[in-house]
Homo-oligomer: A and B are copies of this chain.
Amino acid sequence: ATNQIYSDEGMWLFNAPPRKLLKEKYDFDPSPQWLEHIQKSSVRFNSGGSGSFVSPDGLVLSNHHVGADCLEKLGSAEKNYLRDGFHARTREEELRCHDLELNVLMSIEDVTDRVKGAIKPGMSADQAFAARRAIMAEIEKESMDKTSLRSDVVTLFEGGKYHLYRYKKYTDVRLVFAPEQQIAFYGGDPDNFEYPRFDLDICFFRAYENGQPAKIEHYLKWNEQGPSENELVFVSGHPGGTSRSLTMDELEYKRDVQFPFTLERLHRMEVLLTVFSARSEENARRAKDTLFGVQNSRKAREGGLAGLLDPELMNKKRSEEQRLKSAFKDSGQYDNALAAFAKIASAQKIIRQNALQYNMLEGAAGFNTHFFGIARTLVRAAEERGKPNGERLREFRESARESLEFQLFSEEPLYGDFEQVKLADSLTYMTEKLGFENPLMQKILAGKSPRDRAAELVFGTKVKDVAERKRLYKEDKAAFESSSDPMIQLVLLIDAPARAVRKILEAQDELKRQAYGEIAAAKFAVQGASTYPDATFTLRLAFGQAKGYEEDGKQIPYETTIAGLYERSAQHKNQPPFDLPPRWQERKERIDLGTPFNFVTTADIIGGNSGSPTINRNGEFVGIIFDGNIYSLVLDFVYTDAKARALSVHSHSITEALRKVYDAPDLVNELLGKN
C-alpha cells in the first residue's frame, strides 16, 4: 500500500497537514501554534480569491486581480481606479467596497459520521439527496446559532468526508491601496500564465468591525528578504477546485464535453466584451474586470484541455486508476468500491444528457445579465422561505441568509447598455443551443428578436433599484406572479423547468457522492488516510521550494528583478500591453533595480489561490501568489514539479514600490510594524 504523493504535492487540510513529508524532506515539524497562526492569518475573499492579514489593524493584502471587482464597482466614468490605481492617505479616505465579504477560518470539525448517518440504506437518490441537504443545513444552523460564526459543511474527497468549517466574517471591507492595473497585470493576456514575469499584482484592503479597523491577533510579519533559492516556503490559501481524484470516465467527460463547451462560451464572451470595450474608454472600464476574468479562464481552460488531450498525462491517469482497481481487487474486500466506478459512469451519462438544459436554464448561461440573477433570487426567496430550513434550495438555507442578503442588496453600479448587450448575446446563444423551434425558447423570446427582447427585459425591469429589491424581498409568491416586471415574469416562466433539471442533476450528484465515498473509504484503507482531498475553495496548506526550471534547454532562474521589467518594456518599445505606467517611467532612477520582483516555487496551487501569502518557516510573509506558469495549467488533473511553478510577487518589490513609486511610507511602516 503506497501513498501516491510526490515531492511537493498537495493542497493539505489544516487539520491533516503533511507532517511526514515535511519532516522527511525538509526536517520541518509545524507546531499546532504555527498552524493556528497561519490558518487565522489567512483570509478568504468570497468574490473568489485569497489573502492574508498583514498588520494588527486589519490590513489585508490580496492580488490586484482579486480586488479588481471592488475597484471596478467603486469607479465611475470620472474615477477609473482600475486604470489609475488608488491610495487612501488617511483612514477617512479608505473606500468601503460594495459587496466584499472576507472569511477567516476559525475551526474545523469532522461531521462525516453525522452526515453519512442521515443516508439510510434503500433510500432513492432523490431521498438521499434531500436527507443529506437537510442534515447539512441542520448542522450549519446549529453551529451558527451556537457560535454566531458563518458555518459551512464542506464535502471533501468527493463525498468521502464532511467537515464543518466555521468562519469569522467581515463585510465592512475598505479599499486602502491599489497600483495601476498596467503594472499589476504587466504584459496583459500574452504574459498571463507565463514566466519570467514582472507584475505588482497587489491590492490592500482593511477589515473593519463596528466602524473601526478590526483588531487582529493573527497576522503575518513582513520579511523583506524573501525566500533564498531552494528555501522551503508555504502557501496558505483557497484553491478553488481540482479534478485529480475523478475517475477516467469523468475526465473524459471533461475532455469531450465540459471543456469544449466552456471554451466555446468563453470565446464568444471574449469577442463580445472586446468589441463592447473597443467602442469607448468608458465601455472598456465597465467591462474590464469581466473581460479579464473571461480571458483568464480561457487561457486556463485551454491549458487544461491541452492536458486532457495529452496522451502522456491521460495514460498516467489511466495507469493510476488501473493500479487502484487492482489493489481493490487484490484485497478482495472492496467490491463496492470497484462497483462504484460504473455507478459514477452511469450517473455521468445522465448528467451529460441534461447538462445543456441545466447550463442554460439553471446555470443561466442563456440569461447573462445581473438583473436576471437578482430577479431570480427575489422570486425564489419568496418560495423557499416558506419551507423548512432543510428542504430549501441549498443557497437559501438559514445559515447562508446574511451573506445572500449582503450580495442581493449590493449598491454596485449596473449599466443598462452593458446588461443589454450581454443578454442579447446570451439569448442568441441559447436559441442556437436549444433550437429556435424549442417551445420554451419561443416563450422566452416572446415573438421578438433576441436584441429587442433583451432591451425590453433590461430596460423594463425595476430590480436595478436596490430599494425596489428590498421591497420585493418582503413579498410573497403571489405578488411576484401578478408582477408586471418583465424580468420577474421571465424568471417565473423558466423556474419550473430550471428546478426540474436541477433536481435531476442533484440526484445524480448524490449518487456520485455515494460512489466516491465508497472509493475514498477503500482508498484510505488500501493507501493510508494521509492524503489530501481535491480543492474546494476552502483553506489549504501547500508547500514547496523557491526553484527555477529548465525550458527548451534554458535554465529559468527562480526570481526576476525590477530591472527586468524595464528591459521587457524596452524590447516592446513600451507598446501595450508592455507599456509602463507613467509613474514607473518617471521614477525609474529612484528605484533599486536589483530588487527581486517575482519568484517561482514548486508549491501546489490552482485558481482561487490568487492572493495567498507565501510564507517561510518562521511564519513570515515573503511573497504573494498571483499566478502559475503555463505548465501549471495541468495541475487541475495531476501534480508535477518538472516545470510547473507557482508565481509570487516578492515581498521586497512591494515595499520598494510603495516607498519609491507610490510615496506610501505609511503603508510600509504599517507592514514593517513601525507605526
Interfacial residues, chain A to chain B (CB-CB below 8 A): 188-190, 252, 255-256, 260, 263-264, 267-268, 270-271, 274-275, 278-281, 298, 305-306, 309-311, 428, 431-432, 435-436, 447-451, 572-573, 575, 577
Contact of A449 among B310, B431, B572, B577 (CB under 8 A): B310
Q: How far is the CA of A573 from the CA of B270 in the complex (A)?
A: 25
* Chain B residue contacts of A573, Cβ below 8 A: 281
Q: Is the CB of A428 within 8 A of B572?
A: no
Indicate which residue in B298, B309, B435, B450 contacts A428 across the interface (CB closer than 8 Å). B309
* Cα separation A447 to B315 with both chains bound (whole Å): 11
Of B271, B280, B575, the residue contacting A270 (CB under 8 A) is B271
Q: Looking across the interface, which residue of chain B has its beta carbon closest to that of A571?
A: B280
Contact yes or no, A306 B577, CB < 8 A: no
Q: Is the CB of A274 within 8 A of B274?
A: yes
**A190 CA to B271 CA in the complex, in Å?**
12
Q: Do B309 and A256 touch (CB < 8 A)? A: no
List, sorted by A's number, 20 A–B pairs whose CB atoms are closer than 8 Å: A189-B278, A190-B275, A190-B278, A252-B436, A256-B436, A263-B268, A264-B267, A264-B268, A267-B268, A270-B271, A271-B298, A278-B577, A281-B575, A305-B428, A306-B428, A309-B428, A309-B436, A309-B449, A311-B447, A311-B449
Q: In whole angstroms, what is the CA distance A271 to B263 when docked?
A: 11
Chain B residues with CB below 8 A from A432, complex form: 256, 260
List residues of chain B with CB within 8 A of the CB of A431: 309
List B contacts of A279 (CB < 8 A).
190
With known contacts A305-B428, A309-B449, A311-B447, A188–B256 Cβ distance under 8 A: no
* Smallest CB-CB A-B distances: 3 pairs: A260-B432, A267-B267, A310-B449
Q: What residue in chain B is nearest A433 (Cβ atoms)?
A: B260
A274 cross-chain contacts in B, Cβ below 8 A: 274
Give, as a whole number of angstroms, the nearest-CB distance from A433 to chain B.
8
What CA separation (Å) do A281 and B575 show in the bound complex? 9
CA distance A94 to B332 in the complex (A): 83
Chain B residues with Cβ below 8 Å from A577 are: 278
Q: In the complex, A189 Cα to B274 Cα: how many Å?
A: 10
Instruction: Evaluate whether A435 and B256 lie within 8 angstroms (CB atoms) in the complex, with A306-B449, A450-B306, A572-B280 already known.
Output: yes
The answer to whether A189 and B275 touch (CB under 8 A), given A268-B267, A436-B255, is yes
Once A256-B436, A267-B267, A280-B572 are accepted as A-B contacts, the answer to whether A311 and B448 lie under 8 Å apart by CB is: yes
Measured in the bound complex, the distance between the Cα atoms of B310 and A270 in whole Å is 24
Compute how far the CA of A309 lies from the CA of B435 in the bound complex, rounded to whole angstroms.
Answer: 11
How distant is the Cα of A306 from the Cα of B448 in the complex, in angstroms?
Answer: 11
Give Cα A450 to B310, complex, Å. 8
A425 to B, closest residue via Cβ: B302
A260-B432, A280-B572, A309-B450 known, 19 other contacts, Cβ within 8 Å: A190-B275, A255-B436, A256-B436, A263-B268, A264-B267, A264-B268, A267-B267, A267-B270, A271-B271, A271-B298, A278-B577, A281-B572, A306-B428, A306-B449, A306-B450, A306-B451, A309-B431, A309-B449, A310-B449
Query: A275 — which chain B residues lie within 8 A by C-beta?
Result: 189-190
Which residues of B sit under 8 angstroms from A309, Cβ to Cβ?
A: 428, 431, 436, 449-450
- Among A255, A432, A572, max chain B CB count under 10 A is at A432
A431 to B306: give the CA distance in the assembly, Å.
Answer: 11
A449 — which chain B residues lie within 8 A by C-beta?
Answer: 306, 309-311
Closest to A449 in B: B310
Q: Give every chain B residue within 8 A of A256 (Cβ-Cβ).
A: 432, 435-436
Q: Residues of B contacting A260 with CB < 8 Å? A: 432
How long is the Cα–Cα vector from A275 to B449 in the complex, in angstroms?
32
Q: Which residues of B contact A267 (CB under 8 A)?
A: 264, 267-268, 270-271
Distance (Å) between the CB of A660 and the closest chain B CB? 29
Residue among A189, A279, A447, A448 with max Cβ neighbours from chain B (10 Å): A279
Residues of B within 8 A of A451 (CB): 306
> How long is the Cα–Cα vector from A287 to B309 in the complex, in angstroms?
26
In the complex formed, the residue of B with least CB distance to A298 is: B271
Nearest opposing residue in chain B for A252, CB measure: B436
Please measure, in the bound complex, the distance between the C-alpha atom of A252 and the C-alpha atom of B436, giving whole angstroms. Answer: 9
Please, how many angstroms separate the alpha-carbon atoms of A572 and B279 in the complex? Answer: 9
Return the chain B residue nearest A279 by Cβ.
B190
Chain B residues, CB < 8 A from A280: 572
Contacts of A190 in B (CB 8 A): 275, 278-279
**Given A268-B264, A270-B271, A309-B436, also A278-B188 (CB < 8 A):** yes
Q: Once the chains are docked, how many angstroms separate the CA of A263 from the CA of B429?
A: 10
Complex Cα distance, B310 from A572, in Å, reads 46
Q: How far is the CA of A190 from the CA of B281 in the complex (A)?
A: 12
Residues of B within 8 A of A189 (CB): 275, 278
Minimum CB–CB distance from A578 to chain B (whole Å) comes to: 9
Q: Which of A267, A298, A431, A450 has the most CB of B within 10 A?
A: A267
Contacting residues, chain B, for A271 (C-beta < 8 A): 267, 270-271, 298
Residues of B within 8 A of A435 (CB): 256
Closest residue on chain B to residue A427 by CB atoms = B309
**Chain B's nearest CB lies how many Å from the CB of A279?**
5
Question: Could you say which residues of chain B place their CB within 8 Å of the CB of A450?
Answer: 306, 309
CA distance A572 to B281 in the complex (A): 8
Closest to A278 in B: B190
Contact partners of A428 in chain B: CB under 8 A: 305-306, 309
In the complex, what distance in Å separates the CA atom of A436 from the CA atom of B260?
12
> Which residue of chain B has its CB nearest to the CB of A276?
B190
Complexed CA–CA distance, A575 and B309 (Å): 41
CA distance A447 to B309 in the complex (A): 10
Given the complex of chains A and B, what is the CA–CA distance between A274 and B436 in angstroms? Answer: 31
CB distance from A330 to the nearest CB of B (A): 30
Of all chain B residues, the one with the shortest Cβ separation from A266 is B271
**Residues in chain B near residue A263, CB distance under 8 A:** 268
| Most chain B beta carbons < 10 A, residue from A190, A309, A431 | A309
When C-beta atoms are compared, the residue in chain B nearest to A577 turns out to be B278
A72 vs B546: C-alpha distance in the bound complex, in angstroms?
45
